[in-house]
Amino acid sequence: MKERIGLYNHIPFCQKKCHYCDFLTFVDMEDKMDEYIDYLVKEMALYHGRYQLDTIYFGGGTPSYLAAEQMAKIMESISKHFEILPDCEISIEMNPESVTKEKVETYLKYGFNRFSMGVQSFDNATLRMMGRLHDRQKVYEKVALLKELGVEKLGIDLMFGNPKQDMAVLKHDIELAMQLPINHISYYSLMIKENTPFQRWVLTGQMRVLDDEIERKMYHYIQSELAKHGFHQYEISNFAKGEVESRHNKKYWQLENYLGLGLGASSNIDLVRFVNHRRFADYYGMIDQGKFPIQISERLSVEDREKEYIMLNLRLLEGFAFQAINQRFQINFLEKYQDVLTKHKKLGLIDYDHERIWFTEKGLDMGNQFYLDII
């Protein structure tokens, strides 16, 4: 029988690199995109007939930067080499300037049903400082277009903690976000990544990072404002209104099986975690030889998986059920981790009842302490 998994497709191209971003993505490669798609299709052929898909996810980079025909080619190939289940969740990450009517019509034709757009902020000065190509107006236009074409599950990505995005900007960002017809928000705290302009500006003193206290204050403000507007938080950075939680991302947190295709994509199938080559030449070279373009592969012990299961699942606000972990790993969770659980319940980081365990608000902020004790 075919195994049921989620499929991730990495699209490593952007029109412009944002000043804070270190994702595996390249600019000025428009003329190389067809070649990449040819290889992505060849990689799919290596997995022919093995899997059923209940989620498909296009991430990047900027998947919406691909032309409509390029995306159509990828989807045709997915249907050829995998079995797409009838209720499959198909998600795409987009950024505002690259969304067009023709592309959205193509997405809908191929069954895409979850759309998320990188907005980051509604403040034009902040957007310029981030190196974004769009302004607030462009977001409004593209959200209107997506709704006009019948998109139902629509989310945006926002960021906070950027020094230009002070409390006043943050408040305004939330106010404007709440006026949009969206039902999902990923709200990320800015991370200063290596070898980015942001890191350079921090090192040279041109940019000052927010202190932790203000950053946490902002996070709590986001949590309470979004809750007031009917967005329930289901993960550290994710909020949904209604049944629009990302099923695909939940697979990552719940340690379910997923296959990542494309440059640098990572996979997790049963006890094996593997990551594709990160350089085009290596990725293409392996596929040319008819081999899986895998650079790193590690088989985890069941004990490692168990600890990973605990840590990832606690990112979810609902935590996890004892029955689930006991069945999966053949343990008695409460007995095995009794000392750590007693200590951290006293410290107020975790809470549990007779069925489940979850992080308290304090635990969501300071979970590392608990993780260290689990390991």
Ligand X SMILES: C[S@@+](CC[C@H](N)C(=O)[O-])C[C@H]1O[C@@H](n2cnc3c(N)ncnc32)[C@H](O)[C@@H]1O
Site for ligand X, rule CB under 6 A:
20-21, 23, 59-60, 62, 93, 95, 118, 120, 157, 159, 188, 190-191, 193
| Beta carbon of residue 313, minimum distance to ligand SF4 (angstroms, whole number) | 27
Select from ligand SF4, ligand X, none the partner in contact with residue 91, using the beta carbon and a kind-dependent cut-off of 5 to 8 Å.
Answer: none
Residue nearest to ligand X (CB): 118
Least Å distance, CB 268 to ligand SF4, is 22
Tell me the closest approach of the beta carbon of residue 53 to ligand SF4, in angstroms: 24
Tell the residue number behind the tokens 């709590």, with chain if given.
220
Using rule CB under 6 A, residue 118 touches ligand SF4: yes
Q: Which does residue 190 touch among ligand X, ligand SF4, none (CB within 5 to 8 A, set by kind)?
A: ligand X
Q: Binding partner of residue 17 among ligand SF4, ligand X, none, CB under 5 to 8 Å per kind?
A: ligand SF4
Name the minimum Å distance from CB 187 to ligand X: 8
Query: Which of 20/234 has CB closer to ligand X?
Result: 20
Q: Which amino acid is at 163?
A: P
Residue 188 binds: one of ligand SF4, ligand X, none (C-beta under 5 to 8 A by kind): ligand X
Residue 135 CB contacts under 8 Å (≥ 6 apart), including other chains = 124, 127
Residue 155 in contact with ligand SF4, rule: CB under 6 A: no
How many residues lie near ligand SF4 (CB under 6 A)?
11
If binding is defined by CB under 6 A, does position 99 make contact with ligand SF4? no
**Can you read off the two tokens belonging to residue 327?**
């069945």
Contact at 8 Å (CB) between 240 and 183? yes
Q: How far is CA 160 from CA 15, 197, 345, 367, in A?
A: 23, 17, 30, 20
**Site stretch for ligand SF4 (CB under 6 A), options 18-26, 77-85, 219-227, 272-280:** 18-26
191 binds, among ligand SF4, ligand X, none (CB under 5 to 8 A by kind): ligand X
When CB distances are held under 5 to 8 angstroms depending on the partner's kind, the choice from ligand X, ligand SF4, none that residue 159 binds is ligand X
Please give the residues from 27 up to 66 whose contact with ligand SF4 meets the rule CB under 6 A: 60-62
> Judged by CB under 6 A, which of 23, 26, 188, 329 binds ligand SF4?
23
17, 241, 328, 356: which one binds ligand SF4 (CB under 6 A): 17
Nearer to ligand X, 157 or 306 (CB): 157
CB of 190 to ligand SF4, least distance (A): 11
The closest alpha carbon to 170, from 159, 179, 180, 181, belongs to 159
Question: What does 165 interact with, of ligand X, ligand SF4, none (CB < 5 to 8 A by kind)?
Answer: none
The one of ligand SF4, ligand X, none whose footprint includes residue 157, by CB under 5 to 8 A per kind, is: ligand X
Q: Which is nearer to ligand X, 149 or 191 (CB)?
A: 191
Least distance to ligand X, CB of residue 199, Å: 10
With binding defined as CB under 6 A, does residue 25 bind ligand SF4?
yes
Cβ density class 317-352: b for 16+ within 10 Å, e for less: bebbebeebeeebebebeeebeebbeebeeeebbee
Identify which of residues 117 and 316 has a Cβ nearer to ligand X in the complex: 117
**21 is a contact residue toward ligand SF4 (CB under 6 A):** yes
Residues in touch with ligand SF4 (CB under 6 A):
14, 17-18, 21, 23, 25, 60-62, 95, 118
